[in-house]
Amino acid sequence: MSYFKRDKRAYILLSDGTVYEGYNFGCEGTTIGEIVFTTGMTGYQEVLTDPSYYGQIVLQTYPLIGNYGVNNDDMESEKSWVNGYIVKEWCEEPSNFRTTATINDFLVKQGKIGIWDIDTRALTRKIREFGTMNGAITTEDVYEKKEELLEQIRSYKVVNPVQVVTQKKKGWFYTRENRANHVALMDYGYKHNILRMLLQQGCNVTVMPASSTVDDIRRLNPDGIMLSNGPGNPEDNVEIIKNIQDFIAYGKPIFGICLGHQLLALAMGGTTRKMKYGHRGLNQPVKDLSKDRVFITSQNHGYAVESIPEDVGTISHVNMNDGSCEGIAYKNIPAFTVQFHPEASAGPNDTGYLFERFSDLMERGQQGCL
**Is 300 labelled a binding residue?**
yes
**Residue 123 to residue 79: CA distance in whole angstroms:** 27
Please, which residues bridge with residue 173 across strands? 205
Q: Specify whether the CB–CB gap between 25 and 116 falls below 8 A.
A: yes
Q: Specify whether the CB–CB gap between 263 and 188 falls below 8 A.
A: yes
E-strand spans in the chain?
9-14, 19-26, 30-38, 56-60, 64-65, 84-86, 89-90, 113-116, 133-138, 171-173, 182-187, 204-209, 224-227, 254-257, 271-288, 293-307, 313-319, 325-330, 335-338
Look at strands 56-60 and 30-38 and give their pairing: parallel
Q: What's domain 162-366's superfamily in CATH? A: Class I glutamine amidotransferase (GATase) domain (3.40.50.880)
pLDDT tens sequence for the chain (370 residues) = 544 467 899 999 999 999 999 999 999 999 999 999 999 999 999 999 999 999 999 999 999 999 999 999 999 999 999 999 999 999 999 999 999 999 999 999 999 999 999 999 999 999 999 999 999 999 999 999 999 999 999 999 999 999 999 999 988 887 766 668 999 999 999 999 999 999 999 999 999 999 999 999 999 999 999 999 999 999 999 999 999 999 999 999 999 999 999 999 999 999 999 999 999 999 999 999 999 999 999 999 999 999 999 999 999 999 999 999 999 999 999 999 999 999 998 888 899 999 999 999 999 988 888 7
**Is 302 labelled a binding residue?**
yes
In terms of Cβ atoms closer than 10 Å to its own Cβ (0-12, 13-18, 19+), residue 306 is: middle
Instruction: Report pLDDT for 4.
Output: 47
**Is 232 labelled a binding residue?**
yes
Q: Hey, which residues are catalytic here?
A: 258, 341, 343
E-strand spans in 91-216?
113-116, 133-138, 171-173, 182-187, 204-209
Instruction: Report pLDDT for 3.
Output: 47
Instruction: Report pLDDT for 2.
Output: 46
The candidate with the shortest Cα–Cα distance to 234, out of 264, 190, 276, is 264
Please, which residues bridge with residue 296 across strands? 285
Can you name the CATH fold of 9-157? Glucose Oxidase; domain 1 (3.50.30)
**Is 52 labelled a binding residue?**
yes
The candidate with the shortest Cα–Cα distance to 82, out of 112, 109, 102, is 112
Q: Specify whether the CB–CB gap between 286 and 294 falls below 8 A.
A: yes
CB within 8 Å of 171: residues ≥ 6 apart:
206, 207
Residues of the chain with CATH 3.50.30.20: 9-157
**Residue 46 to residue 291: CA distance in whole angstroms:** 29
Residues of the chain with CATH 3.40.50.880: 162-366
The distance between the two most distant Cα atoms of the chain, rounded to a whole number of Å, is 69
SS (H, E, C) 186-254: EECCCCHHHHHHHHHCCCEEEEEECCCCHHHHHHHCCCEEEECCCCCCHHHCHHHHHHHHHHHHHCCCE
Q: Specify whether the CB–CB gap between 57 and 33 falls below 8 A.
A: yes
Helix (H, G, I), strand (E, B) or coil at 62: coil
Instruction: Report pLDDT for 179.
Output: 66
**Is 259 labelled a binding residue?**
yes
